[in-house]
Amino acid sequence: MIGISMITADVNGHVILENGDSQLNYIQSRSSRVATLDGGCVITHSGVSQGDRVFKISTKIDEYQKSLIEHIHENSNLVNVSCSDGFFIGAISSIDTSKPSISMTIMIKERIS
């Protein structure tokens, strides 16, 4: 189960979704690689942050859930996200509700618990 809610109080500001084909396990490091003149390279690794995670959600929704998700997306800059990996604050960067299944991407800002 995935719970998404607005940060501010709103009667229509929360929705519960099934996991579907959701993905939150991919964690990219803050690293870069720069080529050097001698043919080698320099790699800088600055660690890993929860703020680099992206939550991709793909699951079936009904019309009521569709209206709630669109309301949340249009009226909230940040959202609370609750799932099996923890509780996060993030921002919905894109949604596609044109089909019976939703495709949504949430950029994670921070992990609360």
| pLDDT (tens digit per residue) in 50-109 | 888 999 999 999 999 999 999 999 999 999 999 988 999 999 999 998 888 899 999 999
Terminal Cα-to-Cα distance of the chain (whole angstroms) = 16
Question: Confidence class of residue 40 from pLDDT cuts 50, 70 and 90?
Answer: very high
Q: What is the pLDDT of residue 25?
A: 76
Helices (H), 1-113: 63-75
Handedness of CA 86, 103, 17, 1 (dihedral sign): negative
Average pLDDT over residues 33-54: 94
Q: Do the domain assignments include residue 17?
A: yes
pTM: 0.83
| Residues spanned by the domain of 81 | 2-26+51-111
| Assigned domain for 73 exists | yes
Measured CA to CA, the distance from residue 5 to residue 69 in angstroms comes to 9
Asked if residue 34 is part of any domain, the answer here is: no
Residue 36 lies in a domain: no
Whether the per-residue pLDDT at 18 is higher than 90: the answer is: no
Angle at 24 between CA 19 and CA 29, to 5 degrees: 175
Q: Domain tally for the chain?
A: 1
Judged against a pLDDT cut of 90, whether residue 5 lies above it is answered with yes
Length reported for the chain: 113
Look at residue 28 and tell me whether its pLDDT is greater than 90: no
Q: Please indicate, yes or no, if residue 13 is contained in any of the structural domains.
A: yes
